Amino acid sequence: MTKTILNPLPAPTWNRLGVNQANISLPEIPAKGWGESSTRVDAPIDSIQLECPGFSALESGGGADLDRFLRENANFHLHLAVKEGTEGMILIQHTLEEDHPHAIAHLSLRARPHSKITVIEVIRGGVSGSIHGSLAEIQAGEKAEVTLIQLQMLSAASVLSGGKCLLPGTGSAFEARTIYYGDGDTVLDFSDTAVHTGRKTRSEIHAAGVLDGNCQKTLRGTIDFRRGAVQGVGHESEDVLLLSPDVRNRTAPLILCGEEQVEGQHAASIGRLDEAMLYYMASRGIGEGEARRLLALAKFAPVLDALPPDLRCEAESYLERRLPS
């Protein structure tokens, strides 16, 4: 049996650390297949064109095995080209329900020069055995700006997310901001990689999360400065709040350097609730349970604030239901 490799660390470290790849298996194909997805797309039709897939030459951060699985099993396809100079938003909404329990999406977007587009992918619902997967491939032309927001609001047992960005153009930039909440026996595995090959490129990879119960989480953040990435700058950080002594948290920041004139930094803050802050809030009449919720929600605020108002309210309500009282 061929071993499946998911979310691989670009430069492996000791196996005993358990961070070289994800400890999550690909799902088995249901006996009746994946069926049709329940997906709605809202897009500015006058500014986009349908395209055939196949322009990608980049392996995602999830690895070749995950890419192949998603391409071969997708039950929803959307391949678009945004016209030059266009500004707008594309909203993709998957609903996992009894009649449509699975949504495996293959998305590709070509943003032509000087366009500015936001793609929001929302996943809601979920029944026993539901599977969601999404492969998003994006090409941004000269002076184009693409924002991809993926909002997953499921009670998932396992979550795997892998992203990779190539920065070949002079002055090109990439920013990834991830927020997560894990509780119970949930397994979370994240991997983001920025590959700098152009001059004066910049990457920002930041994550914030809250872990509770027996949750296990692994996060890999890689900044890869390759030859030619002169004056490249890359920063990565993570801020983790632990609400339970039984969680297992692993963070693997990595900076690879093949060029001399670059700047790379990484930082991680991992800790439990600040007793002094809890005492201060208690002195203001805020009980411990409510204080825990407020401090946890504060971790997510910078990313939630970037959402459209209706989705931000929905995400905040989802988190409040999930967080312990």
Confidence at 250, pLDDT banded by 50, 70, 90: very high
Mean pLDDT of 228-243: 95
Positions of E strands within 37-86? 39-42, 48-50, 76-82
The confidence band for 47, taking pLDDT boundaries of 50, 70 and 90, is low
pLDDT at 198 over 60: yes
* Residue whose token pair is 């009746």: 32
As a whole number, mean pLDDT of residues 245-273 equals 92
* Residues 300-322: tens digit of each pLDDT: 888 888 889 999 999 999 988 88
Q: Which residue type occupies 152?
A: Q
Q: Which of 18, 16, 4, 5 is nearest to 252 (CA)?
A: 18
**pLDDT tens-digit series, residues 52-72:** 665 666 789 999 999 999 999
Mean predicted lDDT score pLDDT of the chain: 90
What element of type H or E holds 108? Answer: strand 102-111
pLDDT tier at 283, thresholds 50, 70, 90 = confident
Between 275-283 and 288-304, two packed helices, what is the crossing angle to 10 degrees?
110
> Above 90 in pLDDT, residue 126?
no
Looking at the predicted structure, is the pLDDT value of residue 100 above 90?
Answer: yes
- The DSSP 8-state label assigned to residue 30 in this structure reads P
The closest of 296, 126, 306, 110 to 211, measured between CA atoms, is 296
What b/e readout covers 20-37, taking b as 16+ CB neighbours within 10 angstroms?
A: bbbebebbeeeeeebeeb
pLDDT at 292 (0 to 100): 79
pTM, whole model, 2 decimals?
A: 0.92
Q: Which of 131, 128, 121 lies closest to 98, judged by CA? A: 128
- In terms of Cβ atoms closer than 10 Å to its own Cβ (0-12, 13-18, 19+), residue 276 is exposed
Q: Is 319 helix (H, G, I), strand (E, B) or coil?
A: helix
Q: What are residue 317's phi and psi, to 5 degrees?
A: -65, -40
Q: Where are the domains of the chain?
A: 33-154
Residue 278 CB neighbours (<10 A)? 16
Q: What is the pLDDT of residue 155?
A: 83
pLDDT of residue 1: 39
Please tell me the distance from the alpha carbon of residue 325 to that of residue 321, in angstroms, as a whole number. Answer: 9
C-beta of residue 86 within 8 angstroms of C-beta of residue 47 = yes
pLDDT for the residue 322: 86
- In which band, very low, low, confident or very high, does the pLDDT at 278 lie, cut at 50, 70 and 90? confident
Phi first, then psi, for residue 46 (nearest 5°) are -75, -5
How far apart are alpha carbons 197 and 228 in whole angstroms?
6
pLDDT at 45: 61
β pairing state of 102-111 and 116-125? unpaired
Q: 169, 165, 167, 166: which is closest to 142 by C-alpha?
A: 169
220: helix, strand or coil: strand
